[in-house]
Amino acid sequence: MVRVIAFVALSFIAISFIGVVDVATVFAQDQSVQDQSVQDQTGDEGAMEGRGSGLGVRRGPGAGRGFGRGFGRGLGRAFGQQQQGAATHGHDDRHGADHEVFQFLLSNHDKIRRSVKELPNGVETLTESDSPEVADKIREHVEWMAYRISNSNPIRMRDPLFAEIFKHTDKIEIVHEDTTNGVRVTETSEDAYVVKLIQAHAKTVSGFVEHGFDEAMKNHAVPDKEESAVAVVSRPKIVGHGDVVQLSNAVQQPRSGTKILVDLTRGGEATGLNEGIEKVAKYVNIYGGAGAEPADVQIAVIFHGDATLAVLNPDAYAKKFSTVGNPNLDLLRRLHECGVELYVCGQSLISKGAKPSEVAVFVETSVSAITTVANLQADGYAYVPLGN
């Protein structure tokens, strides 16, 4: 409540100062040479664009500093007003204030320590300073940068890495929490390429901390899209089976609504998992996470030929092959739980000396493989044979 009242009051003051923006603009012009050098070091082109109301608000007595921490979300409205221009030029009401913070942090880089832990889906960073003033500026900076990310409001657009990050803000999640001396940030993405961008950015920030302005004057490279596309999938549906890699930018992406019928006749060692079942797990994982987005898929499997007896219940299987249980059942059950329809050909079953009552509970006995294939193909399932 106090924040809301403060926001309304300060917004009013801010609006009043926009009214006297001419005075502020004169002041801003006096400052332009000095500010241009700040822009050069911290990295934005076209420093004078969009200055008027930004500096008017920022430099007015009281109101200027009020833009900072804590007040953030409220003034975000004003900040958002110029988003369209900002999307292309990287300038907005908050631009000048952010540059002051960059300038301050870069000047005090030797008072900052930072550690970065790479996560499979991003980074966790800890950036701190024993100087309370510097620690507070770090927090202010992070709060506003997180705000820029969540509102796609770019800055430092002449640097390729930053320009690329701001193209993918919809796929970035930032969570930050204050620590006694600074801030801990967890920045993640479900997209393998964006994970690489986040990690490259974290390295760049560490470079700012280590080298200050020398690093801020450099441009930073964008990670290779192809390389980052080849990563072990982060959320396979069936863990431990059917490994896939995520290829977010490849063609022929998984399409939602796909139906696949696997015609499984492949046999194998009675003591081990049937390879064909492992392949089905791969298909499930491909649709569950190998493309840019997971896609709904309906997969059915018809077991016949050499694969028929892979679906027997543990006792029947053990009796038939002198094993301890059936090594296929754990994965078959997990496939069933993922929605895969499992059928066995009744003709094959009986011709191999087994009965429908000996089939595992999550597998259905159909009249025959041919009826299953014909029916499901008529229902729009794509036919995928998995023979020996």
The minimum distance between CB 214 and ligand HEM, in angstroms, equals 11
Give strand pairing partners of 174: 187
Sign of CA dihedral 206, 209, 210, 214: positive
Task: Give the neighbor-by-neighbor strand order of the sheet with 258-264.
Answer: 364-366, 341-345, 297-303, 258-264, 382-386
**Residue ranges binding ligand HEM (CB under 6 A):** 42-43, 102, 105-106, 109, 112, 123, 125, 127, 138, 141-142, 145, 148-149, 155-156, 162, 165, 185, 187, 198, 201-202, 205, 208-209, 216
Residue closer to ligand HEM, measured from CB, 51 or 156 = 156
The minimum distance between CB 170 and ligand HEM, in angstroms, equals 13
Residue closer to ligand HEM, measured from CB, 67 or 102 = 102
The minimum distance between CB 202 and ligand HEM, in angstroms, equals 4
| Through-space distance between the first and last CA atoms of the chain, rounded to whole angstroms | 70
Residue closer to ligand HEM, measured from CB, 3 or 203 = 203
Question: Which three-class secondary structure state does DSSP give residue 131?
Answer: coil
**What's the CA gap between 171 and 4, in Å, rounded?**
30
The minimum distance between CB 86 and ligand HEM, in angstroms, equals 13
Give strand pairing partners of 385: 263
The minimum distance between CB 134 and ligand HEM, in angstroms, equals 9
- Write the DSSP assignment of 72-92 as a string of letters: HHHHHHHHHHTHHHHHHH---
The minimum distance between CB 9 and ligand HEM, in angstroms, equals 30
Residue closer to ligand HEM, measured from CB, 40 or 243 = 40
Residue closer to ligand HEM, measured from CB, 159 or 341 = 159
Residue closer to ligand HEM, measured from CB, 75 or 202 = 202
Pairing of strands 258-264, 245-246: unpaired
Dig out the tokens for 102 from the structure: 């960059």
Q: Are 145 and 76 in contact (CB under 8 A)?
A: no
Dig out the tokens for 98 from the structure: 């952010």
